[in-house]
Amino acid sequence: MKDEKQKIPVHVAVIMDGNGRWAQKRGWPRIRGHREGAESVRAVLRACKTAGVKYLTLYAFSTENWVRPKTEVAGLMTLLSKFLKEQARELHENQVRLRTIGHIHDLPKSLQKELQRVKDETAHYTSGTLILALSYGGRVELTDAMRRIAGRVKDGALEPEAITEETIRESLYAPDIPDPDYMIRTSGEMRISNFLLWQLAYAEFYITDVLWPDFREPEFMKALEEYSRRHRRFGNIK
C-alpha cells in the first residue's frame, strides 16, 4: 500500500523499450519479447490502479516502426489484437476506458474494428484511462495540428494573431487529457524518440536500464517513489 503522503503523478507516459533485446539475449525470436512485454503492460495497469495513477499512455507502435521487418510488424498487430481481447475484461472490471492517439487508419482494418469496439464499450468509465499511441509520432501530431489551425485561418474562422498555445493544444489528438507528469523509459536509452513532443514539455523523466519485459509492479512502484522525491518548479525558483 502506498504512503498516503507520497506524491502520485496523475498521468504517466511510458516508452516501452527493450522487448527485442530481452528476447535476443535469451536466443529467442524478437516477437517472444513483445509477448512478454504485453505481460508488463498488464502489470503496470494493475500498479496504476493500486497507486492511484489516473492516466497511462503507452508508446505501443510509432510511425517509424513501420520500417521494421514485415513479419515482426504482422506479429505485433496480431499480438495487439490478442491483448485487446484478453485485456477487455480487466478494463471492464476496473472501469478503465481505452483511448488511442495516432494514425489509427494505418492499422489493419480488423484491428481498427477491435480497437473501436473496446473504446466504445469502455467510453463511460471514469476510474482510469489507458491511452495507446499507435502509428504515432510527435512530429506528425504537431503537423496535423498545424494543418487544422491553417484550415481554420483559411476559412476565416481564426485570425493568425489569435493563435495561442491553447489553440495548438486544442488541435492535438487528445486535448482533453492532461499532459503527462512523468515519463518513464525502459532499457536505458536517453531520448524521447518522437513521443508526445508538445505534452512532455514539463514532465519529469525517469530512465531505467531495466528492459520492458522485466518492468513489472515492483519496478513501477520504484519509479513512483522516485517521482515523489522530485520538486516540480515549472520555471519558478521555489
Q: Which positions are annotated as active-site residues? A: 17, 65
Instruction: Please report the beta strands in 63-125, taking only residues with DSSP state E, as ranges in sequence order.
Output: 96-101
Q: Residue 150 carries which DSSP code?
A: H
Interacting residues of 183 by C-beta distance below 8 A, sequence separation 6+:
12, 13, 14, 15, 192, 195, 196, 200, 203, 204, 205, 206
> What does the alpha-carbon distance between residue 150 and residue 88 come to, in Å, rounded to a whole number?
38
List strand residue ranges (DSSP E) for 186-233, in order: 204-207
What are the helix and strand counts (H, E) for the chain? 7, 6
Quick count: other Cβ atoms within 10 Å of Cβ 33?
Answer: 22
- What's the CA gap between 228 and 102, in Å, rounded? 30
Backbone angles phi, psi at 183, to 5 degrees: -120, 120
Q: Which of 73, 234, 24, 59 is nearest to 134 (CA)?
A: 59
Radius of gyration of the chain, Cα coordinates, nearest whole angstrom: 18
72 and 31 in contact (C-beta within 8 Å)? yes
> Residue 147: how many CB atoms within 10 A of its CB?
11
